[in-house]
Chain A
Amino acid sequence: MSEVQNKNRFDFVYDFYSKMKESKVTIAYEGEISHEITKVFSSLAESHIAIDDEASTLKKRVFHVMIESLQNLSKHSGEKHDLKSATDGQGIFFVSKTEKNYTITTGNIIDKYELPGLKLVIKKINSSNKKSLKDLYKEQIKKGRLSDKGGAGLGFIDIVRKTGEQLIYSFFDINEKKSYFVLTSTVSRKK
């Protein structure tokens, strides 16, 4: 590699590091999201590397949201359809920690035709109060069959119930068939 290429690479790494620090990111990952990867991240959270000295309820909630977010990625990422043999999803996974809260952010490619349904589900969940979320959960657990993707449509509902915070999301155009979906869940550190 030429010196210029080396310089670019080092600059990229330092730049990446600085941006992570600036955004208080404690975990950043891009790639295949398998069951094994899910376990690694959740045990990181448990073993205090990512979450230190927190109350056990808070720790459990962060753990819970991490697992559900990662499982959403591993099961629902549209990108896996493009990979020849992979059965696992692909995605980005970030955990940030500020004074006020933890944020768990995922990003993945999805098929555009899934967008309207996804938006509708999130809007419905975000506009529900505690009581109607509980009803929604009960309704979904009773009628929801486990799809071939393994989910039961409960993940989003459960995240919002556990955290008491709305889901924040955005979509980016990739091409005429695909979009990039970014979703952030927030767990407040205050009681």
Chain B
Amino acid sequence: MQVIKIEGTDDTPQVTLDANPENPFMEISGRSLPEDVVAFYEPILEWLDEYSENPLEKTILNIKLEYFNTASSKLLLDILLKLEDLNDAGNDVLVRWHFPDDDEDMEEAGEEYEDIVEVPFEQVSYSFE
């Protein structure tokens, strides 16, 4: 499967979607307030559709955002709903929600997604030091 690797900018996140069975890695990190949020996330959602047809034994998505706007929050939910489908289909799925240890708003955002979607969540705090 094709690897998606998007460098982060000051308004778009860094995205890595690599389903190479040897060393798979899926992560969305940084800041998300794209001018056209739908256009930005479209390839990511399409990638997940294709991936879901033939997923790895274990799917782990790391979300490590320092900031996202409300328009992005809707698209993040769309991503998580795709993982929910994958989970419903009997696959092993995990979302790792990373948040800075001093950012309660980001921690709460993760808890809310965990409430909304039926996917195993792991909250991971990190510090900048």
**0/1 per residue, B59-70, Cβ < 8 Å to A?**
000000001011
**0/1 per residue, A54-87, Cβ < 8 Å to B?**
0011001101100110010000000000000000
The size class of the interface chain B forms with chain A is 20 to 34
Q: A154 to B74, Cβ gap below 8 A?
A: yes
Asked if B36 CB lies within 8 Å of chain A CBs, one says: yes
Q: B70 to A152, Cβ gap below 8 A?
A: yes
Asked if A189 CB lies within 8 Å of chain B CBs, one says: no
Instruction: Say which one of B17-25, B87-95, B98-106 lies at the interface with A.
Output: B98-106
Instruction: Say which one of A115-123, A137-145, A166-174 lies at the interface with B.
Output: A137-145
Asked if B57 CB lies within 8 Å of chain A CBs, one says: no
Chain A positions within 8 Å of B75 at CB level: 146
Asked if B6 CB lies within 8 Å of chain A CBs, one says: no
Of B71, B74, B103, B104, the contact of A71 (CB 8 Å cutoff)? B71
- The B interface, classified by DSSP as helix, strand, loop or mixed, is helix
Query: With A68-B69, A154-B73, A155-B70 known to touch, is A56 a contact of B102 (CB < 8 Å)?
Result: yes
Q: B103 to A57, Cβ gap below 8 A?
A: yes
Query: With A141-B73, A152-B73 known to touch, is A60 a contact of B36 (CB < 8 Å)?
Result: no
Chain B positions within 8 Å of A57 at CB level: 102-105
Q: B105 to A162, Cβ gap below 8 A?
A: yes
Q: Which residue of chain A lies nearest to B11 when distances are taken between CB atoms in the complex?
A: A39
Q: B102 to A146, Cβ gap below 8 A?
A: no
**0/1 per residue, B91-129, Cβ < 8 Å to A?**
000000000001111000000100110000000000000
Chain B positions within 8 Å of A48 at CB level: none
The size class of the interface chain A forms with chain B is 20 to 34
Q: B112 to A152, Cβ gap below 8 A?
A: no
Asked if A134 CB lies within 8 Å of chain B CBs, one says: yes
**0/1 per residue, B26-47, Cβ < 8 Å to A?**
0000000101111000000000
Asked if A32 CB lies within 8 Å of chain B CBs, one says: no
Q: Which residue of chain A lies nearest to B33 when distances are taken between CB atoms in the complex?
A: A67
Chain B positions within 8 Å of A152 at CB level: 70-71, 73-74
A-B contacts, 21 of them at CB < 8 A, read A38-B33, A39-B10, A56-B103, A57-B102, A61-B105, A63-B67, A64-B69, A137-B112, A138-B112, A138-B116, A141-B77, A141-B116, A146-B38, A146-B74, A150-B38, A151-B70, A154-B73, A154-B74, A155-B70, A158-B73, A162-B105
Interface residues of B (CB under 8 A from A): 10-11, 33, 35-38, 67, 69-71, 73-75, 77, 102-105, 112, 115-116
For the complex of A and B, list the 7 residue pairs with the smallest distance between their C-beta atoms, beginning with the closest: A154-B70, A35-B35, A152-B74, A158-B70, A155-B70, A67-B69, A141-B77
